[in-house]
Amino acid sequence: MSVDLSGKANGRGAYLCTNPACWERALKRRLLNHALRTELDAESLQRLQEHAAGLESNTMDS
């Protein structure tokens, strides 16, 4: 499982905007599990949370 910023990787995917609030909502409510039709493991969830945290700091820097 990875974040594809280009949106062109093969396989099942889910689109989220770059707004950190979108990511927080999706992760907190397990919306990605539903969209991807799978259960995210702890490692994948952690990587997504780290990605979301990076978006937050990039947004604040702009």
Is residue 18 within 8 Å of residue 24, measured between CB atoms? no
24-32 long-range contacts (CB < 8 A, ≥24 apart) are 24/52, 27/52
pTM of the model: 0.75
Residue 3 within a domain: no
Residue 60 has pLDDT above 60, yes or no: no
Count of domains observed in the chain = 1
Is residue 27 within 8 Å of residue 49, measured between CB atoms? yes
Residue 5 within a domain: no
Q: Residue 29 is part of which domain span?
A: 20-61
Confidence band, pLDDT 50/70/90 cuts, at residue 58? low
Confidence band, pLDDT 50/70/90 cuts, at residue 3? confident
In whole angstroms, give the CA distance from residue 26 to residue 57: 18
Residue 8 within a domain: no
Residue 61 has pLDDT above 60, yes or no: no
Structure tokens at 23: 């990511």
Residue 45 within a domain: yes
Residue-wise pLDDT for 8-53, tens only, equals 888 888 888 889 899 999 999 999 999 999 999 999 999 999 999 9
